[in-house]
Amino acid sequence: VSSTAEQFDFFYFVQQWPGSFCDTWRGCCFPDTGKPAADFGIHGLWPNYATCHGRDDDAFSIVGRRGKCWPEYCEEEDGNALSPWEIRDLVASLSRSWPTLSCRGGDSFEFWSYEWKKHGTCSNLRPHDYFARALELKAAHNLTAILAGAGIVPSDTETYPMSGVGDAIAAATGATANLQCNRDKDGQTQLYQVFQCVDREAKNLIDCPLHMRSRCSGDRVKLPLF
């Protein structure tokens, strides 16, 4: 972990809906541990600034403006590669909760290593704590169950109001989140990722200080079957 503490304001804890990752024109692949559960999976835990550096006129975290709205790759040396040994007691749990769906021929460990290098090295956390906190956050706020409790269940025919999704998460977790959509093969808008905001210790949810470009067009979204 870097010698000088990284200055950032909060974490985005990002989870992806596997049905929405897989039903795009790009498709998906399952890791060697098999088809993941029909459950939100972790994408990453990303340190973020509350104000984009150098762009104070624009407080919105717009995707693509890298290195301005968040720190990344905080250690350049090779010494920061994630070691399987360091997280060995978490591997079974990570395989269930943080599976890769990419077809780039990687297993989930490669996904975790990538996320560690890009975001984890800026977190001021040791690798074990970084991954353990992410698992704890997911377990503490079961998004799939929260949505189901609000009648928002996976379906290829139903659509749900965006406000219903956001309200259900805010009511159940006590904190607002940002939602991101993508499109299925037919161009239909669907819920893809949920960005929850977390304090600098990666322990407690906070209301998201920033809004993001949601890519959700219209006010209803699908939650496709997986």
Q: Does 101 bind ligand 5GP (CB under 6 A)?
A: yes
Distance of alpha carbon 28 from alpha carbon 13, whole angstroms: 22
Of the residues 102, 144, 173, 176, which one makes contact with ligand 5GP according to CB under 6 A:
102
Q: Which of these segments, 51-59, 64-72, 168-176, 196-204, binds ligand 5GP (CB under 6 A)? A: 64-72
Q: Which of these segments, 81-89, 112-120, 134-142, 147-155, binds ligand 5GP (CB under 6 A)? A: 112-120
Secondary structure of residue 148 in the 3-state scheme: helix
Token pair 């009511």 is found at 171
Nearest Cα to Cα of residue 100 among 18, 206, 211, 3: 18
Task: Report the site for ligand 5GP in 5-24 (rule: CB under 6 A).
Answer: 12, 16, 21
Closest distance between ligand 5GP and the C-beta of residue 186, in Å? 21
Catalytic residue among 75, 76, 119, 136: 119
Known catalytic residue at 128:
no
Q: Does 112 bind ligand 5GP (CB under 6 A)?
A: no
Residue 129 φ/ψ region, left for φ over 0, alpha for ψ in the -120 to 50 degree band, beta for the rest: alpha
- Which one-letter amino acid corresponds to residue 38? A
Residues 180, 212: contact at Cβ < 8 Å?
yes
Is the CB of 46 or the CB of 226 nearer to ligand 5GP?
Answer: 46
